[in-house]
A and B are shown apart, each in its own frame.
Chain A
């Protein structure tokens, strides 16, 4: 834990933040998927095309940009919040069970 500084970024400031940044960024998306569209029932060619399109367009959070903050439930109990955990650096991987 060579990079831990003990600094916690002030919980007061976190408290006044109305919504986590990830939710704001989601709300600002051009074409957000609702739960039904997001949780597709069949893997289709359109998903392959979508991945290719997103890759070509560099969809995602660009390098150098702040990683949108979020707080999510963790396996084993409790939650995990990005803004509290960036030191040491974080490798954040998204993945599916299937």
Chain B
């Protein structure tokens, strides 16, 4: 996740294994969780606080037990914003909005429920890789083609990351340009797909 400087405190809470496998089996005690949290902090060079939930995920479950949510908590200890799928540019906007109003209150409508799959596809592979081969078999069985997409997304990371893993929201002009490009692409693909049918009818 992005660095927000000292204006907010970043805190990670390690929860259950998301995609268990031979090297990362389902946790049986809290020592295993602590070891993984240490590895995560060291491997990824995480400078901020990393916490470890208990074995049954008391805190994680109390906060809703989604796979990868992020809460922005204001200076009164209240939820200012809740990103159900952790999207850094959206969180960035929420943080800016909260700081602009003195660190108190609900910002940006309070909840972001969008699934933000582009970031997961670009960045999901390293976590999935830790549980191979079982993690891939289980996920592919549940969601066909998702593992291939994650692998491909990771290979294309240099290309995709500036777009899918950016820290700040795209400027409106860039959004409009991307939208227009997508519309033109869809139109061209549709024409291409329809052309043989039209030719066959003629």
Contact = CB atoms under 8 A, between A and B. Distances in A.
A63 B79 contact: yes
Given A43-B135, A96-B18, A89 B67 contact: no
Contacts of B78: 64-67
Interface in B44-94: 49-82, 84-86, 91
B7 interface: yes
Interface string A20-43: 011101100100111100111111
A44 interface: yes
Binding site secondary structure of chain A: loop
B50 A75 contact: yes
Contacts of A65: 78-79
Interface in A62-79: 62-70, 72-76
Contacts of B9: 85, 88-91
A55 interface: yes
Interface of A: 1-3, 21-23, 25-26, 29, 32-35, 38-45, 47-48, 51, 54-56, 58-70, 72-76, 80, 82-83, 85-98
Interface of B: 1, 4, 6-21, 24-28, 30, 34, 36-41, 49-82, 84-86, 91, 95, 98-99, 103, 106, 110-111, 113, 115, 127-128, 130-131, 134-135, 138-139, 141-143
